Structure 1
Amino acid sequence: MASRADNLASNLSFANFSKATELKNRIWFTIGALIVFRFLSFVPLPGVNPAALQNLTDQARGGILDMFNTFTGGSLERMSLIALGVMPYITASIVIQLAASLHPTLAALKKEGATGRQKLNQYTRYGTVFLCAIQGWFLASGLESFAAANGLQAVVDPGVMFRIVAVISLIGGTMFLLWLGEQITSRGIGNGVSLIIMAGIVAQFPTFASNLFEGGRTGNITAPVIAAFIAMVVILILIICFFERAQRRLLIQYPKRATARGMMQADRSHLPLKLNTAGVIPPIFASSLLLLPLTITQFAGNSLDTDSSGGAFLQQMLQYLGQGQPLYLALYAIGIIFFCFFYTAVVFNPEDTAENLKKNGGFIPGIRPGKRTADYLDYVLTRITVVGAIYLTLVCIIPEWAIGQLGVPIFLGGTSLLIVVNVTVDTISQIQSHLLAHQYGDLIKKAKLKGRMR
């Protein structure tokens, strides 16, 4: 039965796409929600002077600010209502998941099923509001001081009232994005939060291409460098597609079953373990923990006097943590590797899988059911997670280093391509699943009609 489903899925085409009305509605809803997201990225915070802000961002361009803009679709440099994006939610999710692994009360909630997950999601939203308030306050105060230090008035009426309004607006923008992401997940196609992040990155692609070819036209970037950059992007996409589909398939044996016609052949199946079980979550988590504090630090560092000890220290730290710098790459790699193992342990529980196999009579040949199976699954999963963590680290780190070496002023690294390719593959897989379900539904209807005619 599984082989028939695999063959049907492999031979599935989009010929019957026009008949899948529900799927088309889901796709149109997703597109409409992403258009709303892009409109919001151009709505500035109340009290911000757009012209002065443009001059300010031109002076502060480079480094962490441009890297964070890649994930927010340019919302940060425009100081829009969604300047913080969904990064506070991701950071709060990290904290809650870490706490659920360490705190007994939260660990008990995690085991309660849907009710416990709903409670943890509620705590995550509370944490998101708290982080938005802190980050929004520092962002608003940093904008005021940074503009004043550069002789510009990016804020029409600076003061406490502007900061309060900015914090409330940023909290509302982030929470609206979370609601929009939930609506995409439930009524659209794909994971809503991941699609919002991907839409922000894709929205920057025209800017990336324009900067690249403009640099070639003016002579700042040579033709071999442009060719090497394009070749690196193509090779990177092929590597990501290969490793994201790589699996370790464990043979599962089921005992023979007695039926009215006699003994049946023993059933066999496979338990697929993805090489990259954590998906795109580790780079997103590592980026959210690293980029946003560095962005606020950049505002604070530029607003301080470089002759003072505090300003000089912050400026030196920003230089060490610039794109392609060893310290930044080391911290980023450590974060990716840690979250690879952490999130894999969150999404895949060997004990539960072994128990489910035992209840259904399945076993791995040569491995005893129960604890021995759980230990074997944990052993195999750890080994392939090591390979997956190395793959993610290299894909995210090497392009960052190469772009710095090539001298290309484009902040399109492996992390951005990884998110775009991974989310695109996942969305296409969900579209194919809907088409497959629709095709099965048509087959069942035809079978019922034939049965009635007989």
Structure 2
Amino acid sequence: MKRLVSTLKNIWHIEDLRTRILNTLLFLLIYRIGSYIVLPGVDPSQLKQSTQEGILGLLNMFAGGSFSRASVFALGVMPYISASIVIQLLTIAVPYFQKLQKEGESGRRQINKITRILTIFITAAQAIGYLKSIVPENAIMVNHALFNISSMIILTSGTMFVMWLGEKITDNGIGNGISIIIMVGIIARLPLSVTQELVTRVNGAGGIITFIIETVVLLGIVMFAVLLVQGTRKIPVEYAKRIVGNKQYGGVRQYIPLKVNAAGVMPIIFAQAIMFIPSTIGQFFPDAANNSFLASFHDIASVTYNLTFAILIILFTFLYTAISVNPTQMADDMKRNGGFVPGVKPGRPTAEFIDQILTRITFPGSIFLALVAIMPAFAMMAGVNSQFAHFFGGTSLLITVGVILDTLQQIESHLLMRHYDGLMKTGRIQGRTPVSSAV
């Protein structure tokens, strides 16, 4: 306890870090206040309660509850993530985007500009479906045509404002603004979910002992998620000795840390965006939504939904790992700096060796990632409340764990840079691929 107080004092003494933390809290407060501002012309008491269940409940959790409240931030950052996924796929297939990606900072700025423009169109399209399916006619207190036009503009503006808040957190806060906004929306639903589950158990459905067992299981899953995020496979690298003047360079052994889950949370986000397509079709074509196959994708506990979800996660894990980790470039960089893997020839054999190890650790990593993703379905089968079950795995758990680890790592780097002790007594906090930078 004494060490914790000392660490908090050290954090407060660093003016730059203190300012960044306060800025982050201020921006998050603005976001949370905006999530309670209802669209003009809507009667909140008449809103549908169906948004608390199934796939809509998952969307509502990502938006921090603003989805079910018909808030001006109802769509959150999901349209931006969808646009980013589209651009990511275009960088693989379209030469123009491949060229932009190789142009450095200027190319990144152009890609970001295109992503924002695409976000506006995606948000406008989703706003139409949202107003049609979530906001009933008896909840609209003004002219319907005027309401639809104004609400579409407001929802689009709200999403762009949330994106701006995320960029401000990245620039003036503690970083990873989009990730932190998603995490705050998820955590905001935790107290209510825990309270509902506790009340349900105390009132006779299993008793307090069952709730304690569920809490212990949840802590175990969180620990497993931390291991999955931080797990690495170290490849030893030797550097040849060089004598420059009276100094010796190289001659030391270093390691290339290959993460078991190099793709981070992005495969789940990609797969989740694909799984939202059937519900989007149902918003525009109600008759098609009654189809038994499409209807199964609205139930996150169904076998069809979870099997498809798991397969997509495994495929996207390999795809995103192939995009983010380039063994050929790593081998060329090592060769250029006089480094080599013991027992492996420099150049192409080293690239093949790294690629082989990467494939071996990515496959079990993708399986474990898929298991964590579908864990909420098993929790609901065991009788856990659907709202509380979302925290037993899935995107919400991995995003929360990953963002917290990365934020702690950034705070620790500020402390170590100014010669303070880190957050941990032994070892160092390892981060992970942040959602914002990956997107």
- Shorter-chain TM-score bucket reads 0.7 to 0.9
- CA change 1:296–1:260 in 2 (3 A) is closer
SS at match of 1:406: coil
SS at match of 1:355: helix
Native 8 Å contact 1:252 1:365 kept in 2: yes
Native 8 Å contact 2:66 2:74 kept in 1: yes
Q: 2:44 aligns with which of 41, 46, 50?
A: 50
Q: Which residue number corresponds to residue 429 of structure 2?
A: none
Residues in 2 aligned to 1:208 and 1:177: alpha-carbon distance in whole angstroms: 25
Native 8 Å contact 1:221 1:408 kept in 2: no
Deviates more, 1:241-250 or 1:93-102: 241-250
- CA change 1:197–1:294 in 2 (3 A) is farther
Q: Which residue number corresponds to residue 230 of structure 1?
A: 215
Q: Does 1:348 align with 2:325?
A: yes
Q: Does 1:34 align with 2:28?
A: yes
Q: 1:23 aligns with which of 14, 17, 20?
A: 17
Deviates more, 1:75-84 or 1:345-354: 345-354
Alpha-carbon displacement from aligned partner over 1:238-266 (angstroms, at most 9, x marks no partner):
11122222111111111111244586772
How far residue 286 of structure 1 moved from its aligned partner, in angstroms, is: 2.1
What is the one-letter code of the residue matched to 1:46?
P
How far residue 362 of structure 1 moved from its aligned partner, in angstroms, is: 1.0
Q: 1:427 aligns with which of 388, 399, 407?
A: 407
Alpha-carbon displacement from aligned partner over 1:339-371 (angstroms, at most 9, x marks no partner):
212222222222222221122111111222222
Native 8 Å contact 2:52 2:60 kept in 1: no
How far residue 217 of structure 1 moved from its aligned partner, in angstroms, is: 3.0
How far residue 158 of structure 1 moved from its aligned partner, in angstroms, is: 4.8
Alpha-carbon displacement from aligned partner over 1:225-282 (angstroms, at most 9, x marks no partner):
4233212211011111222221111111111112445867722211111111111222
How far residue 409 of structure 1 moved from its aligned partner, in angstroms, is: 3.3
Residues in 1 aligned to 2:250 and 2:407: alpha-carbon distance in whole angstroms: 37
Q: Which residue number corresponds to residue 322 of structure 1?
A: 299
How far residue 373 of structure 1 moved from its aligned partner, in angstroms, is: 1.7
Residues in 1 aligned to 2:233 and 2:290: alpha-carbon distance in whole angstroms: 51
How far residue 312 of structure 1 moved from its aligned partner, in angstroms, is: 3.5
How far residue 335 of structure 1 moved from its aligned partner, in angstroms, is: 2.4
How far residue 336 of structure 1 moved from its aligned partner, in angstroms, is: 1.6
Q: Does 1:127 align with 2:118?
A: yes
Q: Does 1:418 align with 2:398?
A: yes
- CA change 1:105–1:403 in 2 (3 A) is same
Residues in 2 aligned to 1:23 and 1:36: alpha-carbon distance in whole angstroms: 20
Residues in 1 aligned to 2:235 and 2:385: alpha-carbon distance in whole angstroms: 44
Q: Which has the larger radius of gyration?
A: 1
SS at match of 2:258: strand
- CA change 1:256–1:226 in 2 (3 A) is same
SS at match of 2:402: helix
Q: Which residue number corresponds to residue 55 of structure 2?
A: 64
- CA change 1:127–1:267 in 2 (3 A) is same
How far residue 334 of structure 1 moved from its aligned partner, in angstroms, is: 2.1
- CA change 1:157–1:295 in 2 (3 A) is farther
What is the one-letter code of the residue matched to 1:117?
R
Q: 1:214 aligns with which of 199, 209, 222?
A: 199
Residues in 2 aligned to 1:47 and 1:227: alpha-carbon distance in whole angstroms: 44
Q: Which residue number corresponds to residue 157 of structure 1?
A: 142
Q: 2:240 aligns with which of 241, 248, 255?
A: 255
SS at match of 2:382: helix
- CA change 1:36–1:269 in 2 (3 A) is same
- CA change 1:392–1:60 in 2 (3 A) is closer
What is the 5 A alignment of 1:87-236? 87-143=78-134, 147-148=136-137, 153-236=138-221
> What is the root-mean-square deviation in Å for CA atoms of aligned residues?
2.3
Q: Does 1:438 align with 2:415?
A: no
SS at match of 1:394: helix
SS at match of 1:252: strand
Q: Which residue number corresponds to residue 437 of structure 2?
A: none
- Name the % identity: 37
What is the one-letter code of the residue matched to 1:433?
S
What are the ranges of 5 or more consecutive residues in structure 1 without an aligned counterpart? 1-11, 441-454
How far residue 289 of structure 1 moved from its aligned partner, in angstroms, is: 3.0
Q: Which residue number corresponds to residue 384 of structure 1?
A: 361
How far residue 219 of structure 1 moved from its aligned partner, in angstroms, is: 2.3
- CA change 1:362–1:137 in 2 (3 A) is same
Q: 2:341 aligns with which of 348, 364, 372?
A: 364
Native 8 Å contact 2:202 2:208 kept in 1: no
Residues in 2 aligned to 1:61 and 1:163: alpha-carbon distance in whole angstroms: 23
Residues in 2 aligned to 1:247 and 1:257: alpha-carbon distance in whole angstroms: 30
Q: Which residue number corresponds to residue 267 of structure 1?
A: 252
- CA change 1:355–1:176 in 2 (3 A) is same
How far residue 297 of structure 1 moved from its aligned partner, in angstroms, is: 5.5
Residues in 1 aligned to 2:82 and 2:249: alpha-carbon distance in whole angstroms: 52
Residues in 2 aligned to 1:141 and 1:261: alpha-carbon distance in whole angstroms: 75
Alpha-carbon displacement from aligned partner over 1:115-145 (angstroms, at most 9, x marks no partner):
111111111111111110111011112245x
SS at match of 1:16: helix
Residues in 1 aligned to 2:280 and 2:199: alpha-carbon distance in whole angstroms: 30
Native 8 Å contact 1:329 1:397 kept in 2: yes
